Amino acid sequence: MKRLPILVLILLLSLTILVGCSSPVKDNTQEEKKVIFGVTTWSSTMAPTAIAKMILEEAGYEVETVLLDQPIIFQGLADQQVDFFMDAWLPYTEAELWAKYDEDLVKVATSYADAPLGLVVPAYVEENSVEELKNNAEKYNNEIITIDQGAGIVSLTEELIKEYELDEYELIYSSETAMLADATAKINKEEPVIFTGWRPHSMFAMYDLKFLEDSKEIFKYDNVYVLSYQGIEEAHPEAYNIMSQWSIDVGDLEKMMLQNSEDETPFEDTAKEWIDTNRDQVNKMLGK
């Protein structure tokens, strides 16, 4: 057997070591077609998420939804453990969360604009403004009912109570479902009740409600955005392109919410109906 020159042997050995120790080069042009949506228990989040999930699944994605409190969703987005959130109220309601994570997050699309929120009462009560609540606490059982702590609307309600010096009221924290159940029980008896409300929501289709005037403008109209993280365009370019074209009419969402509330129609069913009705918009999003 003919011996190889020593220099050739060294070169071959070095090449073998390099090949053995190197890891495969990641192909960044190949997108992993799996995305995760953060979802709250709010119907205003669940309805649009159901639609977005089906649209991305039509594009070939595996879509996972994870039920989390809103502050944890923002943290998950910043850590890139969550890819999309469909229900961010900015620039006012969630200003505190946005200020904490704005360098890490990006607004992908505007779902709808000028969404109202604030304290809500049945139309049959006399009070029309927040100022009129003062010295009327006993009438309302000294309670203002709201949703989960940490939500933007809850923080604003806490601020409102301080600003208007409504010290005689206790803010009752609960889930959206529990808040509405309590309000419904009182409305059915035509009793006074104060709770936090926002549109879109089925409550405005179910009952004759009014927002209390807020002269100090603690509550301001927001735009509602789809959020993701900085770098989503590179991590999931096709999903980003699809979601960046997203928008929906508030009336469409309230219709979905009402069907879910009254008939327990799953959001998956009403999402499919929405996609069928808005096929031209969906095809545009999908590049068809």
CATH of the domain at 235: 3.40.190.10
Task: Say how many domains are in the chain.
Answer: 2
- CATH number of the domain within which 190 lies: 3.40.190.100
Asked if 123 and 137 sit in the same domain, the reply is yes
Residues linked to residue 117 through DSSP beta bridges, in sequence order = 198
What mean pLDDT is reported for the chain?
A: 89
Query: What's the rounded Cα separation, in Å, for the pair 47 and 266?
Result: 9
For the stretch 143-189, pLDDT in tens is 999 999 888 999 999 999 999 999 999 999 999 999 999 999 999 99
Sequence letter at residue 191: E
CB burial readout 227-247, b (16+ within 10 A) else e: bbbeebeebbebbbebbbebe
Confidence of residue 27 (pLDDT cuts 50, 70, 90): very low
Q: Which of 103, 66, 58 is nearest to 84 (CA)?
A: 66
Asked if 165 and 280 sit in the same domain, the reply is no
pLDDT at 20 over 80: no
Within a domain: residue 217?
no
Average pLDDT over residues 55-67: 97
Which tokens is 49 given?
């998420």
Asked if 111 and 239 sit in the same domain, the reply is yes
pLDDT at 12 over 90: no
Query: What's the rounded Cα separation, in Å, for the pair 114 and 219?
Result: 12
Asked if 61 and 177 sit in the same domain, the reply is no
Asked if 227 and 254 sit in the same domain, the reply is yes
pTM for the model stands at 0.76
Asked if 205 and 226 sit in the same domain, the reply is no
CB 20 within 8 A of CB 214: no
Within a domain: residue 108?
yes
Which tokens is 164 given?
């208007």
For the stretch 223-259, pLDDT in tens is 999 999 999 999 999 999 999 999 999 989 999 999 9
Which tokens is 127 given?
């009070």
Q: Which of 248, 280, 285 is nearest to 267 (CA)?
A: 248
Asked if 111 and 136 sit in the same domain, the reply is no
Asked if 281 and 146 sit in the same domain, the reply is no
> Which residues have C-beta within 8 Å of that of residue 99, sequence separation ≥ 6?
none
Range of the domain at 42: 34-115+222-286
